[in-house]
Amino acid sequence: MAHKFDAIVVGAGPAGNAAAYTLAAGGCKVLQIERGEYPGSKNVQGAILYSDALERIIPDFRDDAPLERHIIEQRLWVLDDESFVGSHYRSDNFNKPPHNRYTIIRAQFDKWFSQRVQQAGALLICETTVSDLILDRGRVIGVQTDRLGGSVYADVVILADGVNSMLARKAGFRPELRPAEVALAVKEIHFLPQEVLESRFNVSGDAGVVIEMMGKITKGMMGTGFLYTNKESLTIGVGCVLSDFKKQKCSPNQLLEEMKAHPAIAPLLEGGEMKEYAAHLIPEGGYNAIPKIHGDGWLVAGDAGMFVNSVHREGSNLAMTSGRIAAETVLALAAAGKPYTARNLARYREQLDASFVMKDLKKYRNMPEVLHRNPQFFTTYPELINSAAHTMLRVDGVDKKTKEKEIRSSFTARRSLFGLVGDAYKMWRAFE
C-alpha cells in the first residue's frame, strides 16, 4: 500500500461516505479509514433517510439501496401519563415516486453506500482506528492508525469521525463537548411479522409511518421520543439533552422502559422481539456550538461539525451535504492547483453558509437556549393540553361553557396569563 494519498477521509458514515464518494468520482486518490468491522457496524441513527441530500450524490440510489419503507404518514403526539393529544398527516402524494424519505437500517445502508464509494475508486480499510492526526508545524499531513506501521500521509484530511470528534479535540482544534450540547438517545429494534406490522399501522406495500413524541415521557427533560416502521421491524427510542439526564439523575434505559410501557405505546410493540439495544449522542448544540471546521490541511464534516437540526430531526442529510461540499472544496482547489491552506479551505465554510445546512442551523440558533430555560414546554403544556382534551371530550352532564372556563383557568393557574403570552412569544421568536 502506498503511504501517500491525495486525501484521507476518517469514518464511513453518511458524511465520510459522501466525501469519499465525491472525491473518488472527481479523480482524487482517496483513502477512507473505518474503525468498525464493516461500514455501519459502529453507526447509530433513528433512522430516516431524506432522499434529496443523497440524490445529489448518487442520483440512482433507489435502484439498489436497502430502503425499508417510504413514509406516508407523520404522527406527532403530545403525551401525559395516561393519554396523548396528537396530529396525523397522511397523504397519498407521499406514495408517488420518487419518494421523499425512507426509514433505513444503518448497518445495511452504510454497507451499501460504502460499496458505491469503493466502486467510485476510493480505497477503504476497515477495523482500523485513527488514534491521532499527524501535524507538521500546525498543518495536518496525515493520520496515525492503530495498525502496525500505521502512519499514512495525505495532502488533506477530512474528519468525519462522528459526534465525539476525538481527532479534532486531541489536536486541540476544538474544546470538549459540554453536556448541554449533546442529546443522549437510546433505542431498540423490535421485529414483528410484516402483516402484523402493516395492519397495526394501517399501511401496505412499502409504505410506512413515523411517530414523534413529546411530553411526560421525557420526565421534564428536553427531548423527544420516536417510533419508526421498518419493513419487518419497529425502531423505538428516546433522546434527551445530556445535561438534563445529569441534573435529573435519570437512567436512560429506565426512561426507555417507562416510555415503552405507556398505555398508548405498549400495544404498538406487543408481540415484538427485541434484537438490539443501542445508544448514541446527537450533537444538538445548534449553530452557536459549531466548532472550527477547517484549518491547514483539514476539514470537518457531519456530526463532528455539529451539523444537526434538532428542531426538524435532520442530521444525516446535513452530514451528507457537508461531506459532499468538503470534497467539492478539495476538488476545486486541486483543479486550480492551490494548496490546502486554512485560507483556501475557508471556501468550505462559505459554501456551507450558502447551503441549507448553515441557513437552517442559523434560523434556529436560539432554540436550544429557549428550550433549556423553559422546561414547561416538556411538562406543563403536555399535561394541560391532555387534560383540556379530556375535559372537553368527557360527557358528564357539565355544560360546555363551564368546561371551557375550567380549561382556561387551568392554564392561567399553571402558567399565569403573562406566562402564557410570554411562552407564545418565546416560541414565535425561536421559530421566526
Partner 1 sequence: MSSAKVEEKLFQNRYRVDAGRPHIGIKNPEICASSCTTQHCTVCCPAGCYTLEGNGRVVLITDGCLECGTCRIICEEHRNVAWEYPRGGYGILFKFG
Rounded Cα gap, residues 414 and 385, in angstroms: 12
Separate counts of helices (H) and strands (E) for the chain: 15, 17
Binding span for partner 1 by CB under 8 A among 53-61, 76-84, 145-153, 323-331: 145-153
Q: How far is the CB of 229 from partner 1 (least distance, A)?
A: 14
Please choose, from the candidates 389, 428, 420, the residue with its C-alpha nearest in 3D space to the C-alpha of residue 87. 389
Please choose, from the candidates 80, 398, 377, the residue with its C-alpha nearest in 3D space to the C-alpha of residue 407. 398
Confirm or reject binding of residue 188 to partner 1 (CB under 8 A): yes
Name every residue whose Cβ is closer than 8 Å to that of residue 293 and which is 6 or more positions away in sequence. 299, 300, 301, 305, 348, 349, 352
Cite the DSSP H helix spans in 121-232.
166-170, 194-200
Shorter beta-carbon distance to partner 1: residue 163 or 265: 163
Q: Please state whether the peptide bond connecting residue 98 to the residue before it is cis, i.e. omega within 30 degrees of 0.
A: yes
Cβ contact 296:340 at 8 Å: yes
Binding span for partner 1 by CB under 8 A among 23-31, 76-84, 176-184, 317-325: 176-184
Confirm or reject binding of residue 253 to partner 1 (CB under 8 A): yes
Confirm or reject binding of residue 45 to partner 1 (CB under 8 A): yes
Position among 206, 276, 369, 406 found at the interface with partner 1 (CB under 8 A): 276
Position among 66, 86, 121, 179 found at the interface with partner 1 (CB under 8 A): 179
In three-state secondary structure terms, 52 is: helix
Confirm or reject binding of residue 342 to partner 1 (CB under 8 A): no
Rounded Cα gap, residues 106 and 156, in angstroms: 28
Total residues interacting with partner 1, rule: CB under 8 A: 54
Shorter beta-carbon distance to partner 1: residue 108 or 355: 108
Confirm or reject binding of residue 252 to partner 1 (CB under 8 A): yes
Confirm or reject binding of residue 274 to partner 1 (CB under 8 A): yes
Binding span for partner 1 by CB under 8 A among 239-247, 313-321, 348-356, 394-402: 239-247
Confirm or reject binding of residue 146 to partner 1 (CB under 8 A): yes
Rounded Cα gap, residues 76 and 230, in angstroms: 18
Overall residue count recorded for the chain in this entry: 432
Confirm or reject binding of residue 186 to partner 1 (CB under 8 A): yes
In the block, cell 436560539 appears at 366
Q: Count CA atoms closer than 13 A to 211's CA, side-chain side.
A: 21
Confirm or reject binding of residue 278 to partner 1 (CB under 8 A): yes
Q: How far is the CB of 107 from partner 1 (least distance, A)?
A: 4
Q: Please state whether the peptide bond connecting residue 47 to the residue before it is cis, i.e. omega within 30 degrees of 0.
A: yes
Q: How far is the CB of 280 from partner 1 (least distance, A)?
A: 6
Shorter beta-carbon distance to partner 1: residue 302 or 382: 302
Shorter beta-carbon distance to partner 1: residue 204 or 251: 251
Binding span for partner 1 by CB under 8 A among 77-85, 192-200, 215-223, 238-246: 238-246
Name every residue whose Cβ is closer than 8 Å to that of residue 274 and which is 6 or more positions away in sequence. 188, 189, 190
List residues binding partner 1 (CB under 8 A).
Answer: 35-37, 40-45, 47, 105-108, 110, 126-129, 131, 145-147, 163-164, 166, 176-179, 182, 184, 186, 188-189, 233, 242, 245-246, 249-254, 257, 274-281
